[in-house]
Structure 1
Amino acid sequence: RKAGGTRIEVYAARLAEDVLEKRHVATHPAGELVVRRTSEGPLPVAVLPKPVPPLDPTALLDNVAESASNAVKYFESLFGPFPYSRLAISQVPGHFGQGWPGLVYLPTLSFLAKGERSQMGLGGRSEELRSQLSVAHEIAHQWWGNKVGWSTYRDQWLSEGFATYAAALHASREKDGERTFREVMRGYKDDLLSKTREGETIESGGPIWLGHRLRNSRNPDGYVTIVYEKSCWVVHMLRALMADPVTGSDDRFFGMLREFLSTQRDRDVSTQDFLRHADKHMTPEMDLDGSGSLEWFFSTWVYGTGIPTYKLQVNTRQISPKSFLVEGNIEQSDVPAEFEMKVPVVADYGKGRKVRLGLVHVSETGGRFRFTTPARPARVAIDEENLLAVVQ
């Protein structure tokens, strides 16, 4: 199969690994044992049911190839040309995937039909999402992790965070995609806020830049939850901050990513490399401290810990026939004193029409704001779909 100029090859074995095959046989409804009397003698003849047909991962090779082709084409529109002339996809046993230059490993479950996974008790909503996201995640590593690598374990979040976010974006293009995207991002937020046995949130285990050191006996899920899922949120928030305040266009953000991937090709980059590149593309509204740098954002979300709780107080009043004043304050809690963020505030005019009023600088002392709008909003709210926070 071809995706633009990229040849895609998919390989799978004709049999699944024993652990899946045994589960398949155990959960497959067997036929009935039939006993018949014959005229040939006094003994009955037992007719055994047909054996359960084995799992055949090769049956869906075309489906996997189609999914891979769609992902490659979509990611080319976001990140630039596919880095290699060929992409080989190979089935591997287990529940993991990996992405190497021009090669992707996918678990056997990715090669099985939805009905087969469901029959084995592996077809719930979470399993379906995981299977859907895994293909896109590993293909995204062709750009994030292979075309551009990472300098040390402290910088690996760039690879995993962008691949995780790319997979979520790819899911948003499917049927009911926007709902699925929100479900994925909310799931990641819930994971970060979930508690360890000691009663602490998983996110509090340490900052993103600690990498593999986040996994320990007190927080066994720390590495995956923080480096993959929190990093995904960091990328999403950076995209939201860079969006055009009037049109909502993402051109600035994805243009920045394409330029970074192009200029840093075949390099192992650091967090500071990416920070310095992002600085070149920041908008005046993103300049929280007047330094002309996003150092504040990375200090808060990559080098620091904490998920804030925000409480909004707002008042709207008409100040002229065609103008309304929206003013209020945002209170911040549950984070360190030095935690600061540009919080997006939106006006909801009903019938699905939402407009970002602006970004509010919120710190330990809160964040006051004043916006004008030509119509009275039905509701003014913190844009929690684009913010890793608890909004009260």
Structure 2
Amino acid sequence: MGQVVFRDNRAFFDYWTSFAARSFRRRGAPEPPPDFDITHYRIQATLEPDLRLRVVTRARLTARVGTRVLLFQISPRMRVEQVRVGGEPAEVFQPDSLRANLLRGDGNAAFLVAPAQPLAAGRDYEIEFQHEGAVISEAGRRVYFVGARGSWYPNAGLHFARYDLIFRHPRELNLVANGEVVDEIEEGPWRISERRIESPVRLAAFNLGAYVSARVPRAGLNVAVYANRQLERALEPRPQPVLIMPPPNPAWSRTRQPPNVVAVPLDPPRPDPTARLRDVAAEIAAGMDFMASHFGPPPLKTLVVSPIPGTFGQGFPGLIYLSTLAYLDPAERPAAVRDQYQQMFFSEILHAHEVAHQWWGNIVTTAHYQDEWLMEALANYSALMFLEKRKGTRALEAVLAEYRRRLLAKTEDGREVESIGPLSWGARLRVSQAPGAWQTIIYDKGTWVMHMLRRRLGDERFLAMLGQLRRRYQHRAITTEQFRQLAAEFLPAGSHDPQMENFFAQWVYSTGIPSLKLEHSLAGKAPALTLHVRLIPSGVGEDFLVEVPIEIQFARLKPIRRWIYTGMAHRSIPIKVPQKPTRVVLDPEQAVLKR
């Protein structure tokens, strides 16, 4: 329940309340299965010279239950013209509802298909869609933007399927897509390519442009990175006026008339969109090696990376869209993205984040908006672990410090961004009052949650947990609660929160970033010394409970490390020590998100 709000030419759906039906809220209520499974797609797409996309999509589905109506979704830029089920014409209802599209949270439009005869449970059917639309726009200088990257063909939620893809497009353009190339021919003004995806994946995607490429072969894996030959218009530097003085004239001094100064606009040199092509290719190949060593093989043997106008990236199975900014020399990027963090983001983090989505989002996935933070947090923290491997722990900590700063920043109405809502709100965090809150909370706080888990479990256990996550949930959706249970399996013995229920209650299902104060005193005489420590939180509710590490340092002995609990704030915790400490340090490795 809520309302549609327009702000800065954007539409938002501001939620007032949202909850599941009572039957689904009952503890242990099973998730209802989908009405049908899709196991194979065959898609034939023609891209006309005017960039209009005409597509015939055939899907093989198995009905789980008897049903009269099938629910699909597609980009609102595409129109479904005709549907046939089992060779028979079917009715299509494709409403145009901004409110419904916003409620879905992904910008897609739902439509219904009513077959001539009800589907029978357990039977296989072929459904054929004819659809067309304008999902591609030109950004200038033969640079193109694919606006419906995951919804240019009908899909129905979480289905891992195999694909056969046939693309027909103008021959002067390069088209890339996920899957292995089966055949490619030229036919008059057209280029026709056929690709096959033999491993089950969630989505098929493509990109196009006038490209140059770099390839990095690896054992069992091919990485192909494409760059635009020319720069999109939005990144072209503006002409700068240059003042031109006429040659000196002795008459000026006699007449006392100033010379006529002419201002001539001068086009500065354009940034090179291929400047970092080979560097990006090498870094992506190294990132794939790093992540495959910890998470297992990627979903497909070939990874294609191609540019997209804008400041974002997106990772599909076997295909990554990467912001053009990542290809530019850092000195040639626009002034708006030249601060230290933005430079690191476009040079070090963005491509690694999208590489990590090969596992988190494309092998393991989520089905509900309450759990969407998991895939982004896992992908982003995987990217930061790769950054740490290449640049050291200080680089990781610098990024986390920037995330903390953004979480504590104030919105227009004076609230801290982190207080807008918990991670579990997912798409409900996209509110008109704080348009950037969703990204900051889902990505930045989610990354901090993964970092805190890593520090609490330790590196070996944390990486083992991620490996088990991939194996246990391959081609399946995971929920936040299932992730909590998995993390608890790898928690070291002796924790004050053995099921990690308090951890997730505070950091995932609630809001708040505490200030922490450590008090300590020494009692007794050597060798029977006892250090009494007390951890005092503030700035959060009384029920905010968190484990924090301390390090007790000595002059000649190895330090002692312990995890202490804010739930014991009203009494001190005794710790036996061999001699008088030189220092007692709270959270020496930045293991906890705090002020």
Scaled by the length of structure 1, the TM-score of the pair is: 0.84
Equivalent position of 1:41 in the other structure: none
Structure 1 residue aligned with 2:366: 150
Pick the aligned partner of 1:224 from 421, 439, 445: 439
Question: Counterpart in 2 of 1:379?
Answer: 583
Confirm or deny that 1:64 pairs with 2:280: yes
Higher relative contact order (CA 8 A, sep 6+): 1
1:1-392 equivalences under 5 Å are 1-21=216-236, 23=237, 26=239, 52-117=268-333, 120=335, 122-131=337-346, 132-175=348-391, 177-243=392-458, 250-288=459-497, 292-316=498-522, 319-321=525-527, 324-349=529-554, 355=559, 357-363=561-567, 365-366=569-570, 368-383=572-587, 385-390=590-595
Q: How far did residue 106 of structure 1 move?
A: 0.7
Q: Can you give the 5+ residue segments of structure 2 that lack an aligned partner in the other structure?
A: 1-215, 248-263
Of the structure 1 ranges 326-335 and 364-373, higher mean CA displacement relative to structure 2 is found in 364-373
Measured after TM superposition, the shift of residue 103 of structure 1 is 1.0
Separation (CA, whole Å) in 2 of partners of 1:87 and 1:34? 58
Identify, as 1 or 2, the structure richer in helix: 1
Which is strand-richer, 1 or 2?
2
Q: Is this contact kept in 2: 1:15–1:54, CA < 8 A? A: no
- Rg larger in structure: 2
The SS at the match of 2:412 is coil
Q: Deviations over 1:248-304 (max 9, x none)?
A: xx111110110111111111111112122222222222242xxx4122211111111
Count of residue pairs brought into register by the alignment: 364
* TM-superposed deviation, 1:320: 2.5
| Matched letter for residue 251 of structure 1 | E
Note the aligned Cα RMSD (angstroms): 2.9
For 2:324 and 2:553, the matched residues in 1 are separated by 45
How far the C-alpha of 1:54 sits from its partner, in A, is: 3.6
Alignment CA distance shift 1:121-1:304 (3 Å)? closer
- Residue 3 to residue 370, structure 1, CA distance change in 2 (3 Å): farther
- Kindly state the Cα deviation for residue 349 of structure 1 after the two structures are TM-superposed: 4.8
- Supply the distance in 2 between the matched residues of 1:174 and 1:262 (Cα, whole angstroms): 27
Kindly indicate whether the alpha-carbon contact (under 8 Å) linking 2:553 and 2:581 is maintained by their aligned counterparts in 1. yes
3-state SS of the aligned residue for 1:310?
strand
Higher alpha-carbon deviation: 55-64 or 311-320? 311-320
Question: Could you list the per-position Cα deviations for residues 309-358 of structure 1 after superposition, in whole angstroms to 9, with x for gaps in the alignment?
Answer: 1111112457425x75322211122212221111211224589x984521
Percent identity over the alignment? Answer: 34
Please state whether the residue corresponding to 1:138 is helix, strand or coil. helix
Q: 1:259 to 1:326 in 2, by over 3 A?
A: same
* Alpha-carbon distance in structure 2 between the residues aligned to 1:387 and 1:266: 32
The AA in structure 2 aligned to 1:333 is S
AA paired with 1:242? L
Unaligned 5+ residue runs, structure 1? 36-47, 244-249
Query: Secondary structure of the equivalent of 1:96?
Result: coil
**Cα separation, 2, equivalents of 1:329 and 1:109:** 48
